Amino acid sequence: MTQNIIKLNTVLNYVKDTFVGKNDVVDLLGICLLAKENAFLYGPPGTAKSAIVRTLSKTVKDGKNFEYLLTRFTEPNEIFGPFDIRKLKEGELLTNTEGMMPEASLIFLDEIFNANSAILNSLLTALNEKIFKRGKETKHLPALMFVGASNVLPEDESLNALFDRFLVRINVDYVNPELLQQVLLAGRKLENQTETDIPEIQADEIRELQNLCKTVDLKPIYEVYLNTIISLRNTGIAISDRRAVKLQNLIAASALICGRNEAILSDLWVLKHIWDTEEQIEILEGIINRTIEKDDNPKSHPQAMQNKTPNPEEVMKDIKILVEKWDSGMLSFEEQNVIKDKLRYLQTRCDWIRNPEQKQYIQQEIESLWQKILQSV
Q: What pLDDT score was predicted for residue 73? A: 92
Count of residues for the chain? 377
Contact indicator for 140, 103 with CB cutoff of 8 Å: no
| Torsion over CA: 286, 292, 296, 301 (sign) | negative
Q: What pLDDT score was predicted for residue 192? A: 64
Q: What pLDDT score was predicted for residue 142? A: 92
Q: What pLDDT score was predicted for residue 169? A: 96
Q: What pLDDT score was predicted for residue 206? A: 95
Strand residue runs (E) in 88-142: 106-110, 131-134, 137-140
Can you tell me the distance from the alpha carbon of 159 to that of 147, in angstroms, rounded to the nearest whole number? 16
Contact indicator for 19, 193 with CB cutoff of 8 Å: no
What kind and span of H or E run contains 346?
helix 333-350
What are the average pLDDT values for consecutive 10-residue runs of the chain, which has 377 residues? 87 90 93 96 91 93 90 91 70 78 94 90 90 82 95 87 94 72 64 71 95 96 95 91 95 95 95 93 87 83 71 86 87 83 78 80 92 83
Q: How far, CA to CA in Å, does 294 sit from each of 94, 225, 264, 305, 321?
A: 56, 15, 11, 10, 31
Burial class (CB in 10 A: 0-12, 13-18, 19+), 73: exposed
Q: What angle do CA 257, 258, 259 make, to 5 degrees?
A: 90
Q: What pLDDT score was predicted for residue 307? A: 55
Q: What pLDDT score was predicted for residue 149? A: 96
Q: What pLDDT score was predicted for residue 311? A: 76
Q: What pLDDT score was predicted for residue 29? A: 97
Q: What pLDDT score was predicted for residue 300? A: 87
Can you tell me the distance from the alpha carbon of 62 to that of 184, in angstroms, rounded to the nearest whole number? 32
Q: What pLDDT score was predicted for residue 67? A: 95
Can you tell me the distance from the alpha carbon of 195 to that of 231, in angstroms, rounded to the nearest whole number? 47
Can you tell me the distance from the alpha carbon of 26 to that of 10, in angstroms, rounded to the nearest whole number? 12
- The helix/strand/coil state of 314 is helix
Contact indicator for 171, 247 with CB cutoff of 8 Å: no
Residues 6+ apart with CB under 8 A from 33: 8, 56, 144, 145, 206
Beta bridge partners, 41, equal: 149, 170
Q: Residue 161's CB: how many other CB atoms inside 10 A?
A: 15
The single-letter DSSP state of residue 174 is P
